[in-house]
Each structure stands twice: as structure tokens, then as C-alpha cells.
Amino acid sequence: MNLIFTGPPGAGKGTIASRISEELKIPHISTGDLFRKAIKEKTPLGLRVESILASGELVPDDVTCGIVEERLKLKDAVDGFILDGFPRTIVQAEALSGITRIDGVVNFLVEDQLIIRRLSGRRICRNCGAGYHVDFMPPKKEGICDVCGGELYTRPDDAIEAIQNRLEVYRVQTSPLIDYYRRKDLIIDVDGSPDAASVTTDVLKLLTRLQAHR
């Protein structure tokens, strides 16, 4: 299945995508993760986008679309994929429609108040990228990754001013995609506010139904 996970920052797209990706054995492709990897490795792309990510603004469409097009050519994406955080503008959605077919767009619904709580408590492993939350998904040992023992850090764009900006950018530039994909009958709405295990179960049920109707 070729899937898109959309929704505001902190809706749980990355957390749920990594679980569903394991379950369905299809790759989880997050443009945010690809940019953060480039920043960590100080590649020309990373140097170009570092300040954009820190502010919560969007990377230009041509740069983002080029990266996704290259990633989708890799062998592991032939039998399906989860795009997390892409597309984020109508221009990106139009570009994507010229590259591949999309079977469903999972739209995670979460209120702003919970989003702010989730993002301000998020911690990421500097080494392997695993995600945690100080209250909702704490690591066994504070500040240390359960998976690899790496150091946990707070994303620069999880500072409160950047969170507010990301919510505004989402409202203005990304949320019009919901109507865009609803008109194509591809939207699958999911309540993203319960705990991660419940949301994962709900998404899997909805995807099983989608597969049965294809």
C-alpha cells in the first residue's frame, strides 16, 4: 500500500508510522528525518536547511520533491511505503501525483493543547533517532536511549516559539491538503489523541478495511 500520514506537528505521525511500517513491512519515509540526517552529517543539503528546520518554516518545494522522488526509486519502496510529513503543500501533492499512485491518506486529528504537551516533552536519540516522551513514553533511564544507549536530546524546533510557528505553517500551507485529498476520496480520519498502542490498532484496522476494498 502506498500511504501518506498527514496531520499537525506532534500528532504522532512518526511514532505511529514506525510501528505500522514494522507491522506491514513497508518503509517509513519521513522528510523531516531525511533533513535531520543531512544536518547531522553536515552535507550541502543539511547546511542549506538547518536554519529553516530550526524556525519551523518549510523547505522549498523543489528541494523536498527532489529528495522524495529519489527516495521512492529505491527498491524497498516498490511494494509500498508510508510517507510521513510529505506532501506538505499543494505543489508537493501535485508533484507526487506525477511520480506515484497513492492508496490512502491517514489524517491524524489532535487538539493544539495536547500537541504542545507532546512536542515540549519529546526526546530523540542522537544516535539512532528513536523517539520518546518524558511523560507518555519515558525511557527506562532518564536521558538515555533504551535501544542503543545513545544520548537523548530535544529538537531545536520543539522550543515553544518554533512550535507556535509550525502550527501556523501547518494551518496555512498544509491543512488545505485535507480537502484536496478528500475530493479524491483518499482521506482516512483517525483520532490521534489516545495512547500510541490504541492509535496503532485503530490505524491497522482502517488499513485492513482499505485493503479489502481495493
Q: What are phi and psi of 15, to 5 degrees?
A: -60, -50
Closest CA to 135 of 122, 149, 146: 122
| Contact partner at residue 136 from Mg ion, ligand AP5, none, CB < 5 to 8 Å by partner kind | ligand AP5
Residue 14 as a binder of Mg ion (CB under 5 A): the answer is: yes
> Could you say which of ligand AP5, Mg ion, none residue 195 binds, taking C-beta under 5 to 8 angstroms by partner kind?
ligand AP5
Single out the residue of 24, 35, 39, 104 in contact with ligand AP5 (rule: CB under 6 A). Answer: 35
> In whole angstroms, how close is the CB of 121 to ligand AP5 at the nearest point?
6
Judged by CB under 6 A, the residue of 46, 48, 59, 139 near ligand AP5 is: 59
Shortest distance in whole angstroms from residue 145 CB to ligand AP5: 13
Binding range to ligand AP5, per CB under 6 A, among 12-20, 40-48, 145-153, 176-184: 12-20
Please give the grid coordinates belonging to residue 88.
Answer: 506538505
Of residues 103 through 142, those in contact with ligand AP5 by CB under 6 A are: 118-119, 121-122, 131-133, 136-137
Name the amino acid, one letter, at 150: G
The Cα 87–Cα 92 span in angstroms is 5
Smallest separation (angstroms) from ligand AP5 to the CB of 183: 20
Q: What is the largest CA-CA distance in the chain?
A: 47
DSSP 148: T
- Residue closest to 130 by CA, chosen among 115, 116, 150, 111: 150
Q: Cβ distance 92 to 135 under 8 Å?
A: no
